[in-house]
Every structure is written in C-alpha cells, then in structure tokens.
Amino acid sequence: MPRATRITVMLLFAAWVVDYIDRTVINFALPSIGEDLGLDHTQQGLLVSVFFIAYALVQVPGGLLADRYGALRVGIIGLTAWSVFTGLTALAWSFSVLLAIRFLFGLVQGVFPAAAIKALAERSRPEQRTTAAGWTNSSNAAGLLLAAVIAGVLLPTVGWRVMFAVISVLGVAVILAWRRWMPEPLVQDEPPMADAAPSAERRMVLFSPALLGFAVMFFGYDVLVWGVTAWTPTFLHEQRGISMAGIAFAAVPSTLAAAAGVVLGARLSDRIGGRPRVIVVPAMAFTAAMLFVLPRAEAFPLFVLVGTVMSLVAGLAYMPAFSVPLRALPSSYIGAATGVIIFGGQLAGVASPLAFGFITDHVSYTTAFETMAIGPLLALLAATVVPQTADAFRAMLARRTAAAVPSKERLP
C-alpha cells in the first residue's frame, strides 16, 4: 500500500475506535441505567434503537455532504459534535431526556461513516480499498474491547454518569491528529460510470438494485451484530449472575476474534476480486446455527468460547458487503454509495435491539437469540444474488442507465 494509504488507515482506525467506544459503552451500562431510571427491557432496548433510527436517517445525506464538501470537513464536524453529546449523556435525569440525547447523538455521529470511507477511497487504489477498509474497520472490535474495559473499570467505581463524561474527551485527540497528519488524496485515474449526466448517473447508482442488494446484505449482518452485542452483557448479568466487570473483561477474546475476521474477510475479498457469495454464504450459515447454541451454553467459559468462534466467522462477512462497490465505483461516488449500504446496516441497529428486548420481555432470552438468526440468513440470500465482481456491477449499472436515463440527459 502507498504510504498515504497506510497513514490514512491508522488515523481512521483511531477515529473509529472512539466512535465505537462512544456508541457501544451504553451496552454495558444498560443494567445500571435501567436500575437508576427504573426502565424495563423494552425501554432499555429503545435506548439502543433510537440511536440507530437517527444514525440511519443521515447515512445517505451524510455521504452526499462528504461528496460535496469534502470527507475530512464532514468527518471532523461529526466527530466534534458526537463527543459533545456523549458528554451530555451523563446529565440525563429521565428516560425521555436520555432518549432525546441518544437520538441527537445518532444524528451527529451518523455523518461520519460515509465520510470516513470516502476519505480512505480517495487515498487508496481501487484494488486495495477492501483490504485497507478491512484494517480500518477492525477498529470496530478494538472499540468494543476498549468500551468493555472502560466499562469494567469505571462502572463499578464511579458509575455510568461519570463514565460517559470521561470518554467524551477522547475525540479531541483524534481531531488534532487528523488536522496534523492526514495526507492529501492520491491522484487517481477513474473513468465515469456511464455516459449519463452526473446527476442522473448518481441517481442510477444510489437506487440501483445492485447497490441495494449490498445494503440488504449488510442489514442481515448487522441484525446479528447489534442485536446480540447490545444484549449479551445484560443476558449474562441477569441469567448467569456474572458481574459487569467480569463480562467486560470476558469480551476480550470475542472482540479480538471479530477484528481478525474482518481483516481476513477483507483480504480474501481483494484476493478473489470481490465475489461475496464465496465468503458470506458459509460464514453466515455457520453463524445462524451458532445462535441456537450460544444461549444454551450454561457454563460461562463455554459461552465465551462459542461467542468467540461465532465472532471470528461472522467477521468474515463484514467487508464483502462493501467489496464490489468499493472496487467498481469512482471515489467521487463512494460517500453516497457507501451511505446507502451503511443505511441498511443501521436499520438493523434500529430493529434488532428493540426486537430482542421485546422478545425477552414476552417470551425468553433463548428465543430472542434464536430470532436473531433471521439476519445471517438474509445476508446469505442477498450474497447469492448481488453482482459478484466490479465488472458485473458496472455492467448492471450501465444497462440500468441506458434503459432509464432520457436521451436528452446523456452527455455528448
């Protein structure tokens, strides 16, 4: 990889770590918040889901803003704003106030993902983008790990309010690093997608079945991630009697395994030229089966072992949801296009934590885990029908553009 790509990966890695700490530390704090504010499981699930409602709403607008005003500018604004709302979480005195803060937090953090992917695309070659993005997105697991460690140390000592106030300052260091060391974009030779005018071409890309298929794939993957991740700490605390500190530190192997799976899946995707079917189908089939095993693992060490293996295999399917579009699209379209894919994942973040909590309240934890298998199965099905290579993706877009764009909108 060029030096500019490697530096960009490191800077984005740091930003994503802060993103995931701020976003997911609430998963470990839910029992304390629920006890403090008198919330049931459904209300606790709504605290997670409302973030994703807002987060999902701004994915495509955030990508369009990044394409128009620049990835770094939009990314820094988002990072600054979400750090402020992380700090404000500590001041919430009721369920309704906390719900509003989480919604606003989701809005401002939601502009970041597409801007980050666009910044990376501008500083990497198309044939290396999935691998570079895989290293960047392995930070998700690192952020989860650090969130677990921070929660394990701060929750039993200073409480959830002080914990949110402390972590709100992490974004400042990342902002300073971005402004100091982020390299300039690479000079790239990227031909236009088709012969349509730019506005018409962009619409064809964003609303194409090809791109929406990858959004569905990411939705299915994130049903698993956000449903299970949000509720596992509470499940272990309530059903197994494990302390939150013990749960936090036991998350280390599964989060490291998830990071390894993301990187490995990204490298495999670049090695085979995309072809998500090859990776996603077996990985998601195995993961769906493990969701029936996990809640029945009575011994805590066995639960950790099953969760770790499941996290490793599931992680393989993360980057294949982006691999073909990243290889096929010019960097000028990456912000909005990846915003569409991420939007699919965030819809899962809205639905799965709330559904998990509702099913837990009305049926059982075991049934809630099993219900999450719908996500991996949906991702598996989507992976079988989306274009498998960059050439196939561009060809599908070209046919759609030729059929849908009026002749007067075509370029001479």
pLDDT above 90 (res 310): yes
User: Cα–Cα distance between 315 and 328 in angstroms, integer?
Assistant: 23
Closest CA to 244 of 67, 60, 34: 34
Contacts within 8 Å (CB) and 24+ apart, 292-300: 292/369, 292/370, 292/373, 294/228, 294/369, 295/235, 295/365, 295/366, 295/369, 295/370, 296/366, 300/236, 300/240, 300/242, 300/250
Residue predicted with more confidence, 177 or 309: 309
Sign for the CA dihedral angle at 53, 56, 61, 67 comes to positive
Residues 217/358, Cβ–Cβ less than 8 Å: no
Using one digit for the tens of pLDDT, what is the confidence trace for 315-352?
A: 999 989 998 888 888 777 777 788 888 888 878 877 88
Residues 300/250, Cβ–Cβ less than 8 Å: yes
Using one digit for the tens of pLDDT, what is the confidence trace for 355-381?
A: 888 888 888 889 999 999 999 999 999
First to last CA, the chain: 37
User: Cα–Cα distance between 310 and 176 in angstroms, integer?
Assistant: 37
Using one digit for the tens of pLDDT, what is the confidence trace for 13-39?
A: 988 888 888 877 887 788 788 888 888
Q: Has this prediction a pTM greater than 0.95?
A: no
Residue 317 is predicted with a pLDDT of 92
CA angle 216, 221, 224 (to 5 degrees): 130
